[in-house]
Amino acid sequence: MRILVTGGAGFIGSHVAEAYLAAGHEVAIVDDLSRGSRDNLPAGARFYQGDICDRSFLEQVFARERPEVVSHHAAQMDVRRGVAEPTFDATVNILGSIHLLELAVATGVGRFIYASTAGAIYGEPERLPVAEDYPVNPISPYGISKHTVEHYLFAWHRLYGLPYVVLRYGNVYGPRQSSKGEAGVFAIFFERMLAGLRPVIYGDGTKLRDYVYIDDVVRANLLVLERGTGEIFNIATGVGTSDYEVFCEVRRALGADGAEPDYAPRRPGEVERIVLDIGRARQRLGWQPEVPLEEGTRRTGAYFRRRVAQSSKLKSNLAGGQEPHR
């Protein structure tokens, strides 16, 4: 299949694009590199640098690639920026997505896979775990904008017959995760501790999230290439982990016994407790998480150790007058 991955230079999108290529599909990537990196682009994928809010740019990409599937991961995904700049958040997440939906219909795309969020759209749930049919009450502009696109998908399916699947991710972590923004807590903690600094926990450390390793998220994206049309799936673990427990896992992975975090006031727009019911994905996709938190943390820590070592080597070479390898 010919697959267009938006946000394919980012953390999740690049892993998904890589898996599509490994499965034998043709892959094109659209990314504006505002949060993604060229280093994340998988070999074999065609790359188009540009903004999904630029309709003329997208028209050229669709005309050239004629994708059969759109895997939409590009987004404004910083909860705090969404609170500070709700117009920007809506422009990227809603209007940019509408451009893609319109072009998908105009060019005959056969499936639209949408990366939504489970951590931000349910608001503060009264009971846990939260299933897909739980009332949606987001408390941040980011959660509002991500959920709004789900309504557009339903409408486009009814109006134009566009097949779609929604994957509501829990808190995804793993190699290539960015430390920019609060969603990258594993990356933030690893980077600070490897630099000899104390991680900062916002609140008292009891804030609860449902963390899912990137490889498990990738498997879900492969499965929905041919399954789950018109459905919404929580992709998580069904297990809640507190901020302090994440800190303890990172500390264990680094062998940093005795290290402790700093604490700061909680931030507006953040949900305090969210754990997801993943029964629908188990039953209808045959999917379930396979990587436990301890193993996922170990793999993530190994990645950040390598990155720090490579950075140190590069600095040493430059200090010694050696040109970096290109």
Q: What are the distances in angstroms from CA 144 to CA 151, 269, 278?
A: 11, 11, 22
- Any residues with CB less than 8 A from the CB of 65 and at least 6 apart, and which? 2, 4, 28, 46
Let me know if 122 is a catalytic residue.
no
SS3 22: helix
- What per-residue confidence (pLDDT) applies to 62? 98
- What per-residue confidence (pLDDT) applies to 114? 98
Query: Beta strands 69-72 and 111-117: pairing type?
Result: parallel
- What per-residue confidence (pLDDT) applies to 313? 56
Alpha helices in the chain (DSSP H): 11-22, 55-65, 79-84, 86-90, 96-106, 141-160, 185-194, 214-223, 243-254, 279-285, 293-319
pTM (predicted TM-score): 0.92
Q: What is the mean pLDDT of the chain?
A: 93
Q: What amino acid is encoded at 295 in this protein?
A: E
Q: Which domains, ranges and CATH numbers included, belong to the chain?
A: 2-175+212-238+275-291 (3.40.50.720)
Total residue count of the chain as it appears in this document: 326
- What per-residue confidence (pLDDT) applies to 325? 39
Measuring CA to CA, which residue among 158, 277, 269, 300 is closest to residue 207?
269
- What per-residue confidence (pLDDT) applies to 309? 87
- Pick out the chain residues at pLDDT < 70: 181-183, 312-326
From the candidates 122, 142, 152, 164, which is the catalytic residue?
142
Supply 305's token pair: 């150790």
Task: Please list the residues that pair with 3 across neighbouring strands.
Answer: 27, 69
